[in-house]
Amino acid sequence: MRTPSRPCRPRRLPRTLATSVGAALLATAATACAGGGDQAAGSSSGAKTLALSILGTPNSFAPTQLVRGQQAYVWKAIYDTLLIEDNNGQIKPGAAESWKYSDGARTLTLKLRGGMKFSSGAAVDASAVKATLDLMVKTPGPNQGSLASVASVEAPDASTVVIKLRQPDGSLLSSLSSASGVVGDPKTMTDKSAALNPVGSGPYTLDKAQTVNGSVYVLKQRDDYWDKGAYPFQTVKLRVISDPTAAANALKAGESNAGSVDASRLSQLESSGFKVTKVGATAGANLVLADRAGTKLKALGDVRVRKAINMAFDRDKLVQQMLRGGGVSTEQVFKPKGQVYDQALNKTYAYDTKAAKQLLAEAGYPNGFSVKMPSFIYIKQFEPIIQQALGDIGVKVTWEPVPPQQSGTALLSGKYPMFLIMDGLDADPVIAKAFYGEDGYRNPFHTTDPKLTDLLAQADRQTDPVKAAAAYRKVNEFGVEQAWTAPLFFVGTQWVTGKGITYLGDGSSTAATIRQFGVAK
């Protein structure tokens, strides 16, 4: 393995959970929770309006500044994306009705569907897509890194977009189904007004008269949308509610008709007639052992040390004590409902402090070692138990507080050889790139390994999803066997829906979209 010394390239930022503590942290495992609305949960007309709440305020509606996570419930309803990740986690046509790779997976040709229009009435065509992608590539922001492989974008005719890549990129299709794939209006997307007054071609428009920025966002359905059937609600209200208790109370009071709540409140809501749908994993907690070459912390350069750290945790006990059973233990970073996850890998590191100490001794650390880790507000409740588990094998942790606004910079800086993080789960290729790619946002030391580089290249070249998944499974095996991280657990979500509303997801996709909700029959 090597850690090259060079400037940090832009990288795709994670769908990190909201920075809140206590019970609110558990609630943030969902991509949304309950919110106020003007339809009672049990009313016969409730299906006309979907009411949700989000824990964070959208930072901007400008295409280059869109943030993943709960904010996507708003902007994904306003903007079309070139591709769509459906509720089963499969990539499907979006604004592009078809796509095809050529030139050894270095050229992607997309055919746009006809008849699409922006809310302004202007036609959506290839020049608009090119303009948006070009702007994304050159503008610093949360989505620039996911298009780092793009060399150029061409629009040979009104319905054709050709994306040429520097090298094959297995995560590109997933990126085009998210923020990096939105289609912006070239006439307005660079104006200051785009931050609060977006012009998109999506299924809804933002009702400015009823919207209060930072508090409530009201969306009105478009009658001319090409896939109107996937969005059955005439009105969607998203209210910023950071307190999960307030969200649960809104459900009970009939002010909302859908939401995610703490597991302790489920029985009461079920007895009141609400339907509960449990999703086992929507976010993951990982102790990232980032300095795998031992440049700042020599001990981490020894695989025996990294394996010993993995053996320090009783993961099932963590789930019971910290999550009250609202999650599942794991030894791998990929989502359980994906094509890469392998249940057998969860038997790699049994909880065994004695064996862990022996491995540390064999590596030359019979008395353990010390490490400084960043402390973020959203993981603070987990820090004592993590510190104790590591202390039991001789690894002494000192926590260094980091302000929320500096968390991303701190992790990408390479200052911390290991760190605890909670991320919303993403598509398999995106996870692989994040944790194991040379420029992945969970690989701040840019560590590489010849075998891993070859495995990732094989996966990137595969345009057949089945063959690509097989290649990524080998990447997963490498990561677990070499202990590049110490994954701990996945946090689950409990969705509650009232009369007339149904939740359609099962965890195969964790992308926040109104398509996760439907009208109950």
Write the pLDDT tens digit of every residue in 289-325: 999 999 999 999 999 999 999 999 999 999 998 888 7
Domain of residue 79, CATH code: 3.90.76.10
255 within a domain of the structure (yes/no): no
Write the pLDDT tens digit of every residue in 214-264: 899 999 999 999 999 999 999 999 988 877 788 888 889 888 888 888 878
283 forms bridges with which residues in the sheet? 424, 491
Say if residue 305 is in the same domain as residue 443: yes
Measured distance CA(377)–CA(401) in Å, rounded: 8
Say if residue 285 is in the same domain as residue 190: no
Question: Quick one: pLDDT at residue 256?
Answer: 87
Asked whether 162 and 108 are in contact (CB, 8 A), the reply is yes
Question: Quick one: pLDDT at residue 473?
Answer: 98
Say if residue 190 is in the same domain as residue 294: no
Half-sphere exposure of 56 (CA within 13 A, CB side): 24
276 within a domain of the structure (yes/no): no
Measured distance CA(338)–CA(391) in Å, rounded: 34
Which of 175, 197, 219 marks a domain boundary?
197
- Residue 262: φ, ψ to 5°: -65, 145
Asked whether 200 and 95 are in contact (CB, 8 A), the reply is no
430 within a domain of the structure (yes/no): yes
Which of 197, 231, 254 marks a domain boundary?
197
Domain count, the chain: 2
Measured distance CA(192)–CA(186) in Å, rounded: 13
Question: Quick one: pLDDT at residue 136?
Answer: 97
Say if residue 318 is in the same domain as residue 190: no
Question: Quick one: pLDDT at residue 45?
Answer: 42
Question: Quick one: pLDDT at residue 37?
Answer: 33
Which of 144, 171, 197 marks a domain boundary?
197
416 within a domain of the structure (yes/no): yes
Say if residue 339 is in the same domain as residue 443: yes
Question: Quick one: pLDDT at residue 60?
Answer: 93
Say if residue 465 is in the same domain as residue 338: yes
Say if residue 184 is in the same domain as residue 297: no
Segment-wise mean pLDDT, segments of 10 residues, the chain, 521 residues:
42 39 37 32 57 82 90 95 96 98 97 97 98 97 93 98 97 96 97 94 97 94 95 93 81 86 86 92 96 97 98 95 87 96 97 98 98 94 96 98 90 95 93 96 96 97 94 98 98 89 92 93 77
52 within a domain of the structure (yes/no): no
Say if residue 347 is in the same domain as residue 485: yes
Spatial CA neighbour of 248 closest among 73, 76, 498, 454:
498
Q: Which pTM was predicted?
A: 0.88
Range of the domain at 152: 60-197
Question: Quick one: pLDDT at residue 47?
Answer: 63
User: Which residue type occupies 454?
Assistant: D
53 forms bridges with which residues in the sheet? 33, 239
Q: Which residue has the tokens 């402090």?
A: 353
Domain of residue 361, CATH code: 3.10.105.10
- The pair of three-digit structure tokens given for residue 401, joined into one six-digit string: 């507080």
19 within a domain of the structure (yes/no): no
354 within a domain of the structure (yes/no): yes
Spatial CA neighbour of 140 closest among 263, 271, 9, 315:
9
- Quote the longest CA-to-CA distance of the chain: 70
